[in-house]
Structure 1
């Protein structure tokens, strides 16, 4: 979801990529809630961190504690931000309750990406 919003909202001055410390596949609920706000991430896929890409970045954002804790070391020249968001894939309950968690996280990610744009 973060990659989708970043590509949509940050413009061509930003080089955006999303990757994790593990591959989990694309969650269909993420695709669904992003489509609700007009962002198509259906063609995105789960990728592993590329250390060369990571080390050539200006900013690295981690989205949950597990990612922050397992993210490889980066040079001091790379700014790091941690957005302590719950992993919506861990949501439990009915389908409607799970989607509500995805929407909450989606909306928080959107606000944080917009804040990055404003700070640029």
Structure 2
């Protein structure tokens, strides 16, 4: 969700890529709650962070504790930042309770990413 939010909210100013330590596909609930606010990530795929080993980044932002612990060392001046968010339910059941959890986490991510990029990058 974070990459979709950042790429939408900071289009043309920031490019966010998403990768995981143990990718399992894009959550249908994440797709649904982002579509609710006009962001379409249906074409995205789940990637392992090793795919980006030789890429240069300004920031490597981890969102969960497991990713923070397993995040590789990035060279070339990359700044690492950990933003801990609650894990989303590992389910595809789109009941109101699960959707509400995803919405809350979506909004937390959006708020902290917006705060970060507005402050750190003076955007």
TM-score normalised by the chain length of structure 1: 0.88
Gaps of 5+ in 1: none
- Structure 1 vs Structure 2 CA RMSD: 1.8
Distance 1:13 1:101, change over 3 A: same
Q: C-alpha offsets along residues 50-91 of structure 1, whole Å, 9 cap, x if unaligned?
A: 2112xx101010000011011111237211111110121347
CA distance in 2: counterparts of 1:8 and 1:20, whole angstroms: 20
Q: 8 Å contact 1:8–1:39 — kept in the other structure? A: yes
Alignment correspondent of 2:21: 21
**Count of residue correspondences:** 117
Q: Which runs of 4+ in 1 moved over 4 A?
A: none
Gaps of 5+ in 2: none
TM-score normalised by the chain length of structure 2: 0.86
